[in-house]
Chain A
Amino acid sequence: MKRLCVVLTIMALGVLIVAPIPASAGQPPLLSTTELVENSYKWDGKTVSFKGEVLQDLMVREDGTWMNLSDGNNTAMGVFVPEGVAMPALSHAEDYRTVGDVVLITGVFHRVCVQHEGETDIHAVSVTVLTPGSTKANPVHLDRVVWFVVLAGFLGLVMWLYYRKPTRGTEH
C-alpha cells in the first residue's frame, strides 16, 4: 500500500511538472484596447492586465480616480481606480512635450459598467508604474525656419504689390 502511495505521489508530481500551466492561472492576461473591444463579451467581468501610457488628465472623483491609458495608435481605455486601491505617484502625464508614465494595471473589465452607466472600462485592483515618463525634445528644424523666411519674404513682396497697385478692371 505504501509503495502504491509513493508511486501515485511521484506520478502526480510528474504530471504537475510536465503539464502546461495556462497563463491565466497565475497572471491575468495582458490585453489591448482592440482585443477588449472586439471581444467584449468574452472578457466581460474577467480580471485582466492592461498596459498603457497615462494620458494627460487624472480625474479625481468622489469615489475614485479616472485615468485614460493609451496603448497604441488612437486606442485608449478608461481605467477607474476606486478609492482604497493604492495609486502610485505618477511623475509624468502625456502632453505634446511629455511622454507619460507607462503603467500596468490589473483589474476587472466591464463591457458595460453598471456603476458607470454602461461605460466600457476597467476597474483597477492594482496599479504599478512600469516606466517613468520623460520630457520630449521639441526641436525647431533649421530647414523649416529657412522655408518660413523665404515664404514670408515672397508674401511681403506680393502684399506690397497688392496694396500698392490701383484697382483696375471694367464695370459691366
Chain B
Amino acid sequence: MIRRVWREDFRIIGYYTGLVTIGVGLLMLIPMVTSLVFREWASALDFAISAALTLLVGYILALISRTKNTPGLTHAMVIAAGSWLVAMVLSGVPYMLSGHEKSFLDACFDTMSGYTTTGLFLLQDLDHISQGLNMWRHLLTYVGGQGIVVLALTFLIGSTGGAFKIMVGEGKEEKLEPNVRHIAVLIWRISLIYLGVGTVVLGLIAIANGIKPHLAFFHGAYIFMSAWSTGGFAPYSQNMLYYHSSAMEIASMVFFILGSFNFALHYAVWSGNRKEILRNVEIVSFTVTVLTTFSLVCLALMQRGVYPNAVALFRRGFFQLVSGHTTTGQSNIYARTFVREWGPLGMLATTIAMAIGASAASTGGGFKGLRIGIIVKGIATDIRKLLSPERAVVTGHYHHLHDNVISDGVVKSAAVIVVLYVLIYVVGAIVGMAYGYPMVDALFESVSAGSNTGLSCGVTQAGMPTLLKIVYILEMWMGRLEFLSVFTLFGFIATSFRSMRLRKAAV
C-alpha cells in the first residue's frame, strides 16, 4: 500500500532541494569571477543576476520549509530527481541572458546536457561566447559528473541520516566510508587532485601546441573537466579538432578513461589495493567490449576505405570509439562524418559502445560495465547449471572490490535497469524516426542522449523538433539518475494529488 503524503514530506523535500539550489547559486560565482578577470562586464552581470535569482529561490525554499527531520528513502529519491530539474531551469538563466540560445527550452537542454555529462548542445555561435559562459558550461559538466547532491552534501547538508540515500538517488551507491559527508569529501578530493594534475598537463600541452600561455591553462581546465566528467564539451565548436594535436587527444583520452572508472575502484587503488584494477569485473567487461566494438569499427572503416593508413584509422577510430564507450562524447571528427564516411556499421558499433557505457558509480552513463559483467556471468552460471548433474551445486562469482556471489536477485536487478535503458533508447529513436530521421541516425542520437554520451551525427540542432528536444532532455535526466529516483518523483507527484483528493473528500 502506498502511503499518503503529508505536509512534512513537502517540507523535508523543499528544505533539502533549497540547500542544493543554494549550492548551485554559489557555483555561479566562479564563472562570474572568470568574466571579471577577462573584463567581460556584461557576462559578469549576467552571472551576478543568475546567482542572485538562484540563491533567492534556494533560500526561500529552505526558509519556508525549514525542518530538523531527516529524509527517508522516498524523500531522498524525490530530492535527488527534483533538485536536478530545479538546477536545470535555474542554471539555464545565464545561458538565456547571454543571448546565445534561441529559446529557454534550448537553454534547459544545454544545462541538462551539462549536468548529466552528456555534451550535446544547442548553443548558438559557440565560438563567440564569453570565457565566463565557457567556464559555466564546463563547470556544470564537472559538478554534474560528481553529482549536484554530492556538492551540496560536502558544503551544506552535513552528515544527516538521509544524506546517503539522496546520494544513492543520484547514482552514487558505493558506500566507501561510514560517514556520508566523508564520502562526499572523498569524491571531491579525488576529483580536485585530478583537476589540478589534469589542468597542468593539458595546459602545458596546449602551450606546446602554440596556444597563448594565459589561455592555455583555461583550455587545459576546460578539456580536463570535460574529459574527467565524461562530459564531452569543448570551448570551441570543432571540439578536439580545434587543437590539431594527438598529444591533447591522448592526454584527454587517459582522463576520460579514468573518469569512466568506478569511484570505489579509484578509492581502492588510492588505498593501496592496486591489484583491483586487474581483477575488477568492470575493467574486464570494459576491456572486452572496447576490443569487440573497436574490431567492428575497424572492419567498417577498412571496408569503406575511410582512412589511408593504420595510424589515421587508430587516431580517429579508437578515439571516437573510446570516447563513445566511456560516454564522453569528445570528438576529433566532424559530426556528419559519421553519416557521410563511417556508414551504418561504423555508426552501429559506436552506438553499441555508447549504449554499454562506463562503470557504475562513475561520472559516465549507459548500462554500465558492472551490469553487463553480472548479466554475462549470470548467463554463464545458468549454462553451467544446465550442463552439470542435477545434484551439483553450481554458483557463479564476480569480482567487484571483493568476490561476490551471483544470485538471481542481483542478475534480475541488473537486467531490469538494462531493459529500462533499452526502452528509453528505443523510444527516443522512434520519436526521431517519426520526424523523418533515418533509423541509424535516430538510434545513434537517442542512445547518445540516453547514455549521456554526447556524440552527434547531426540530428541535435537548434532547429530540431521541440518534442524531440524534450524527449532527449528526459532521456538524459533518466539515464543519469538511473530511473529509480525519477520514477519515485513521478509516483510522489501522483500520490500527492491522490492525498489532496482524499483530504478534500474527508472535509
- Chain A interfacial positions (CB closer than 8 Å to B): 33, 37-38, 40-41, 55-61, 65-66, 68, 70, 73-76, 78, 80, 94, 96-97, 111-112, 114, 116-121, 138-141, 144-145, 147-148, 151-152, 154-155, 158-159, 161-162, 165, 167-172
A74 close to B124 (CB less than 8 A): yes
* 5 interchain pairs, CB-CB under 8 A: A78-B238, A96-B40, A96-B43, A141-B45, A158-B60
A148 close to B52 (CB less than 8 A): yes
A145 close to B45 (CB less than 8 A): yes
Could you tell me the distance between the alpha carbons of A74 and B236 in the complex, rounded to whole angstroms?
A: 8
**Residue of A33, A40, A144, A162 touching B63 (CB-CB under 8 A):** A162
Quick check: is B468 within 8 A (CB to CB) of the other chain?
no
**Residue of B39, B42, B242 touching A68 (CB-CB under 8 A):** B242
B310-321 CB contact bits vs A (8 Å, 1 = yes)?
Answer: 011101100000
**Residue of A59, A116, A170 touching B69 (CB-CB under 8 A):** A170
B308 close to A147 (CB less than 8 A): no
- Chain B interfacial positions (CB closer than 8 Å to A): 11, 38-43, 45-46, 48-49, 52-53, 55-56, 59-60, 62-63, 66-69, 97, 123-131, 209-212, 215, 236-238, 241-244, 246, 306-309, 311-313, 315-316, 332-334, 336-337, 340-341
Residues of B within 8 Å of A97, CB to CB, are 39-40
A114 close to B40 (CB less than 8 A): no
Tell me the minimal C-beta distance from B320 to chain A in angstroms: 11
A158 close to B69 (CB less than 8 A): no
Closest residue on chain B to residue A72 by CB atoms = B125
A78 close to B244 (CB less than 8 A): yes
B340 close to A37 (CB less than 8 A): yes
The secondary structure that dominates the B interface is: helix
**Residue of A38, A66, A73, A112 touching B306 (CB-CB under 8 A):** A112
A57 close to B212 (CB less than 8 A): yes
User: Given known contacts A66-B244, A68-B242, A112-B312, is B210 in contact with A59 (CB within 8 Å)?
Assistant: yes
Tell me the minimal C-beta distance from A88 to chain B in angstroms: 18
B336 close to A57 (CB less than 8 A): no
Further pairs besides A55-B127, A169-B68: 10, Cβ < 8 Å: A40-B341, A57-B211, A74-B127, A117-B246, A121-B244, A141-B45, A144-B49, A148-B45, A152-B48, A159-B59
Tell me the minimal C-beta distance from A162 to chain B in angstroms: 5
Closest residue on chain A to residue B124 by CB atoms = A73
A152 close to B336 (CB less than 8 A): no
Residues of A within 8 Å of B209, CB to CB, are 59, 61
Residues of A within 8 Å of B212, CB to CB, are 57
A138 close to B336 (CB less than 8 A): no
Tell me the minimal C-beta distance from A94 to chain B in angstroms: 7
B52 close to A76 (CB less than 8 A): no
A76 close to B124 (CB less than 8 A): no
**Residue of A55, A66, A138, A145 touching B236 (CB-CB under 8 A):** A55
A168 close to B42 (CB less than 8 A): no
B52 close to A155 (CB less than 8 A): yes
Tell me the minimal C-beta distance from B46 to chain A in angstroms: 7
Residues of A within 8 Å of B55, CB to CB, are 155, 159
Looking at B38, B127, B341, the one whose CB has the most chain A CB atoms below 10 A away is B127
Tell me the minimal C-beta distance from A100 to chain B in angstroms: 9
B59 close to A158 (CB less than 8 A): yes
A151 close to B53 (CB less than 8 A): yes
Residues of A within 8 Å of B333, CB to CB, are 120
Tell me the minimal C-beta distance from A165 to chain B in angstroms: 7
Could you tell me the distance between the alpha carbons of A75 and B124 in the complex, rounded to whole angstroms?
A: 11
User: Given known contacts A68-B236, A96-B40, is B49 in contact with A151 (CB within 8 Å)?
Assistant: yes
A161 close to B244 (CB less than 8 A): no
User: Given known contacts A119-B244, A151-B52, A167-B66, is B309 in contact with A70 (CB within 8 Å)?
Assistant: no
A140 close to B42 (CB less than 8 A): yes
Tell me the minimal C-beta distance from A59 to chain B in angstroms: 3
Could you tell me the distance between the alpha carbons of A155 and B41 in the complex, rounded to whole angstroms?
A: 22
**Residue of A38, A61, A152 touching B340 (CB-CB under 8 A):** A38
Residues of A within 8 Å of B69, CB to CB, are 169-172
A117 close to B311 (CB less than 8 A): yes
A66 close to B210 (CB less than 8 A): yes
Residues of A within 8 Å of B341, CB to CB, are 40, 111
Could you tell me the distance between the alpha carbons of A120 and B239 in the complex, rounded to whole angstroms?
A: 13
A-B pairs, top 3 by smallest CB distance, nearest first, are A118-B312, A59-B210, A151-B52
Could you tell me the distance between the alpha carbons of A74 and B100 in the complex, rounded to whole angstroms?
A: 11
Could you tell me the distance between the alpha carbons of A69 and B314 in the complex, rounded to whole angstroms?
A: 26
